Amino acid sequence: MSRKPHRHGRDFTRRTVTAGLGAGVLAGLAPFNIVRAQGAALKVGVLLPRSGVQAGIGQDCQRGVDIAAGILKELGMPALQIMNGDTETNVDVARSRAEKLISDGAQILVGAFDSGQSTAIAQVAEQKGIPYVINIAAAPQITEQGYKFVFRNFPTAGMILSDAFANQKEVFEAAGSAPKTAVFMHVNDTFGTAMKGGIGTVMPKFNMPYSLVETIAYDPAARDLSVEVAKAKATGADALLMVSRLNDAILLTRELVKQRWSPMAILSMGPGWYEDQYLKTLGKLSDGPLSFVPWYDPNKPMSKTLEAALAKTHPDLNLNTNHVYTFEALLIAADAYKRAGSADPKALADGIRGTNITNNVSPGPGIQFNEKGQNDKLKLSAIQNRGGKLVTVAPKVAANAKVEWPLKPYDKRG
Amino acid sequence: VPLDIYLNVAVGGVLTGLVYGLMALGLSVIFGVVRVVNFAHGEMMTIAMYIAVTLFSVFHLDPLVMLVPIAAVLFVFGYALQAGLINRFIARPEHSQFLLLVAIAIIITNVLLILFGPDSQNVQASYAYDSFQLGKLIVDATKFYAGLTAVAVTAGLFAFFRYTSLGTAIRACADNYTGAMVVGLDVKRLYALTFAIGSACVGAAGCMLLLIFDVTPAVGPAYTLLAFVIVITGGLGSMPGALIGGVLIGLTEALAGLLFTPSAKSMFAFAILVLVLLFRPQGIMGKRAA
């Protein structure tokens, strides 16, 4: 009986050849990948609520993505390969879509308009070590977690409130009168709750001329807001202080008309009241509300470029927060990629941390991030709906119109 | 809060509840006879709402004027669905029926999403912003018209089931399936007719709800859930129960929003459901199982 001699080492089989070839190819490609990334388009996963309750705003943000490519090219920025993700206005879906985009090769994430959804995406981005630039989300806690890969070029709830109250006082001064009482109505989502929490601490510092006589929280997905408006009307308050979304802003306006209540002013500190869909759906009933929001500086050259780009593709739309801050998020990504010279996540994150963009759109000195990843230099504007258009009424340095005061009663609009 | 505000809110809640009742009536009728729970109920209503939106935006046809033609379209849709698909599942286990109808619901939602996009849509009828003032009472005109029409449609349906031979035959199928077959009734055709009538109900309700609420492809499941809450509260299979359940839920949501906090108003509607399930499981107007 003969035995095959024992061979030291591994057998040389087809599997060995395949494994060896695979390893060789990978080893050969590894440095090439880095080199290639410098010339290749940066894969940007853009997460937005493209369906669900916030679909209107999500799609409006997408317009900011659509107009970005041409402008970034003119600025000499590297190309971006956009990978779209729909959060379906749902926090859990936002989380799973972020994971999917990363597994599909996204090298940076951008989005997602909503604080709750952005919080979920931030957790995924930090866990996976992929940079995430928030376009719109105001809940302060997102940039208070010590995250290394999360950046926000949008004011926090506290910043919004501080600037909003300062701008309100300027508006009241220009109008020569001010409300004495107000009802605070807010959506009960992450953003609305953060704003409600902030009001209690920020408002007393500004010595506002009005006091809050009632606070009414409601579901942003509510189909009917008649009860909410009835409750607000019953207080007899002079003004409505709002933190809302788009659909509910439309519903609220309809109820104000139907319940024959025209307050002295509608002071919004969130989205909804200035959106094009609001203006188009309500026509002349959309005139008058004042929004104290992150806006754009109409005097900056980049604002004019963005306005022109939007007018070219969407001549019937006004440039707004959704377009501006989504565009700026992509500008930040492209700028960081250009400076980092690599799509390596850590290099990209370091690149974003070192951002200093002065040729931008949003009000303030430009885009820089503090150690928490927050742009704390942003400023807000006060804008008013006027005949389907939006004018800036405060602060004076960025204003292009005087405030119309008080709100014209709904039953006297013909 | 002044008393007139309570009155205004209560009237609004009752009127909305009447339309909710009509929507739930379709579900109740279908279950009462065919014994199939229509998990695509809300989605079928969104079909009607989108037909109404399209007719309004293209031809400026008022949803209330188009109520009968749209209900007829849903009637045909429901008949075809039952005759062509659901009848084959009648004898199958309930989970098979559930999966079939959930699949239909998902297909409807996504087809609507492809056709109309995700934006909410509505109709701006000439009376969209009207309201009637009677002293301190302010009644929303659209809710008033919708509520009144819901009562009329429900009364017509009640009369149909009560006073026509076809209605009697359908009720016979509901009471005794085998007996109905023995006396020579074409049960499968009657099932299809019943499903069609239930679908027409939801079509009519969709036209009315469109005057009150906006529509998006994603609203279907919320209406399906609402219809379930209403019919279980009112009594599954009971026609008056559906209307009473609708009014009760509409009124509860409205008053809970005013008395407590508006963001918790749905919680109170579900609390009513829990109470009914605890103390009267067959529903307010339902019959206790033998």
Reply yes or no on whether the pLDDT at A27 is more than 50: no
Question: Which of A52, A224, A234 comes nearest B213 by C-beta?
Answer: A224
pLDDT of res. A31: 37
What whole-number distance in Å separates Cα of residue A292 and Cα of residue A360? 20
pLDDT exceeds cutoff 70 at A9: no
From chain B, the residues in CB contact with A48 under 8 A are: none
Angle, helix B239-259 to helix A226-234, in steps of 10 degrees = 40
Chain B residues whose C-beta sits inside 8 Å of any chain A C-beta? 1-2, 5, 8-9, 12-13, 16, 113, 117-120, 122, 124, 128-131, 133, 138, 140-141, 212-214, 216-219, 222, 253-254, 257-258, 261-263, 265-266
The per-residue pLDDT for A413 is 86
Q: What is the rounded distance in angstroms from the CA atom of residue A386 to the CA atom of residue B125?
A: 24
- Average pLDDT for residues A210-237, to the nearest whole number? 92
Residue A317 scores a pLDDT above 60: yes
Contact between chains at B214 and A250 (C-beta distance less than 8 A): yes
Q: Which residue has the higher pLDDT, B59 or B126?
A: B59
- Nearest CA of chain A to the CA of B141: how many Å? 8
Categorize the per-residue pLDDT at B290 as very low, low, confident or very high, splitting at 50, 70 and 90.
Answer: low
What is the mean predicted confidence (pLDDT) over B118-138?
Answer: 86
Render pLDDT for A160-176 as a digit per residue (tens, 0 to 9): 999 999 999 999 999 99
CB atoms within 10 A of CB B147: 26
CB < 8 Å to A52, chain B: 118, 216, 218
CB proximity A254 to B under 8 Å: yes
User: Please, which pLDDT band fits residue A327 given cuts at 50, 70 and 90?
Assistant: very high
Q: Is the pLDDT of residue B231 over 90?
A: yes
A369's tokens: 């991030």
Cβ contact, residue pair A227, B2, below 8 Å: no
Q: Which residues of A touch B265 (CB under 8 A)?
A: 227
pLDDT value, residue B4: 86
Residues 6+ apart with CB under 8 A from A20: none
Closest by Cβ to A226, choosing from B118, B120, B140:
B140
Q: Tell me whether residues B119 and A223 touch, CB distance under 8 A.
A: no
pLDDT at site B213 = 85
Instruction: Write down the pTM of the prediction.
Output: 0.78
A413 touches chain B (CB under 8 A): no
Other beta carbons within 10 Å of A371: 8
Average pLDDT of span B51-78? 95
Q: Do A55 and B119 touch (CB under 8 A)?
A: yes
Distances (CA, A) of A128 to A89, A341, A371: 22, 21, 20
Checking if the pLDDT of B15 tops 50, the result is yes
Which residue of chain B is at minimal alpha-carbon distance from A236? B1
Confidence of residue A41 (pLDDT cuts 50, 70, 90): very high
A167 CB neighbour count, 10 Å cutoff: 24
Rounded distance between C-alpha atoms, residue A46 and residue A61, angstroms: 10
| Res B230: pLDDT | 94
User: Residue A56: is its pLDDT beyond 60?
Assistant: yes
In this prediction, residues A387-406 reach a mean pLDDT of 90
Percent of chain B with pLDDT over 90: 62
Closest Cα of chain A to B259: distance in Å? 9
Q: What percent of chain A has pLDDT over 70?
A: 91
Handedness of CA A54, A57, A63, A65 (dihedral sign): negative
Cβ of B118 within 8 Å of Cβ of A51? The answer is yes
Mean pLDDT within B112-118 = 87
pLDDT category at A71 given cuts 50, 70, 90 is very high
Query: Does the pLDDT at position A23 exceed 50?
Result: no
Is A66 in CB contact (< 8 Å) with chain B?
no
Residue A149 pLDDT level (bands cut at 50, 70, 90): very high
Per-residue three-class SS string for chain A: CCCCCCCCCCCCCHHHHHHHHHHHHHHHHHHHHHHHHHHCCEEEEEEECCCCCCHHHHHHHHHHHHHHHHHHHHCCCCCEEEEEEECCCCHHHHHHHHHHHHHCCCCEEEECCCHHHHHHHHHHHHHHCCCEEECCCCCHHHHHCCCCCEEECCCCHHHHHHHHHHHHHHHHHHHCCCCCEEEEEEECCHHHHHHHHHHHHHHHHHCCCCEEEEEEEECCCCCCCHHHHHHHHHCCCCEEEEECCHHHHHHHHHHHHHCCCCCCEEEECCCCCCCHHHHHHHHHHHCCCEEEECCCCCCCHHHHHHHHHHHHHCCCCCCCHHHHHHHHHHHHHHHHHHHHCCCCHHHHHHHHHCCCECCCCCCCCCECCCCCCECCCCCCEEEEEECCEEEEEECHHHCCCCCCCCCCCHHHCC
Per CB-CB distance under 8 Å, the chain B contacts of A213 are none
Contact A289, A270 (CB under 8 A): no
Q: Considering chain A, what is the average pLDDT of its residues?
A: 89
Q: Which residues in chain B are closer than 8 Å to A224, comparing Cβ atoms? A: 16, 212-213
Q: Is B271 helix (H, G, I), strand (E, B) or coil?
A: helix
Please name which of B258, B148, B137 lies closest in space to residue A224, comparing C-alpha atoms.
B258
pLDDT of residue A329: 97
Residues of chain A with Cβ-Cβ distance to B141 below 8 Å are 258
Asked if the Cβ–Cβ distance from B212 to A51 is below 8 Å, we say no
Is A258 an 8 Å CB contact of chain B?
yes
State how far the Cα of B282 lies from the Cα of B241, in Å rounded to an integer: 11
Q: Which residues of A touch B258 (CB under 8 A)?
A: 227, 230-231
Q: Is B265 exposed, middle or buried (0-12, 13-18, 19+ CB in 10 A)?
A: buried
* pLDDT at residue number B272: 92
State the pLDDT confidence band at A28, using cuts at 50, 70 and 90. Answer: very low
Q: In this predicted structure, what is the pLDDT of residue A3? A: 41
Of residues A21 and B162, more confidence is placed in B162
Q: Which of A99-108, A259-268, B150-159 has the lowest mean pLDDT?
A: B150-159
Residue B289: pLDDT band (50, 70, 90) is low
Provide the angle, in degrees to the nearest 10, between the axes of the packed helices B187-212 and B3-34: 160
- pLDDT at position A32 over 70: no
Average pLDDT over residues B157-173: 92
CB distance B131–A260 less than 8 Å? yes
Answer for the pair B44, B199: CB distance below 8 angstroms, yes or no.
Answer: yes
Q: Which pair of structure tokens corresponds to residue B159?
A: 């009369």
Torsion sign (Cα): A300, A302, A305, A306: negative
Taking alpha carbons only, the member of A87, A132, A148 closest to residue A114 is A87
Contact in structure between A113 and A59 (CB atoms under 8 Å): no
pLDDT given at position A11:
44
What letters, b where the CB count within 10 A reaches 16 and e where it falls short, cover A238-274? bbbbbbbbbbbbbbbbbbbbbbebbbbbbbbbbbbbb
Q: For residues A399 and B86, give the distance between their C-alpha atoms in angstroms, rounded to a whole number.
A: 63
Model confidence band, residue A36 (pLDDT cutoffs 50, 70, 90): very low
pLDDT average, residue stretch B136-146: 90
pLDDT tens digit sequence for A88-146: 899 999 999 999 999 999 999 999 999 999 999 999 999 999 999 999 999 999 999 99
Among A217, A231, A260, whose Cβ lies nearest the Cβ of B258?
A231
How much is the pLDDT for B218? 85
Which tens digits make up the pLDDT trace of A293-314? 999 988 899 999 999 999 999 9
What is the predicted pLDDT for the residue at A224? Answer: 86
pLDDT > 60? residue B55:
yes
ipTM: 0.80
Contacts of B214 in chain A (CB under 8 A): 223, 247, 250-251
Closest chain A residue to B10 measured between Cα atoms? A227
Residue range A42-54: mean pLDDT, rounded: 91
Are the C-beta atoms of residues A268 and A243 closer than 8 Å to each other? yes
Closest chain A C-alpha to B9 CA, distance in angstroms: 6
A257 touches chain B (CB under 8 A): yes
In this complex, how many residue pairs, one in chain A and one in chain B, have their CB atoms less than 8 Å apart?
Answer: 94
pLDDT of residue A396: 85
For residue B202, pLDDT beyond 60: yes
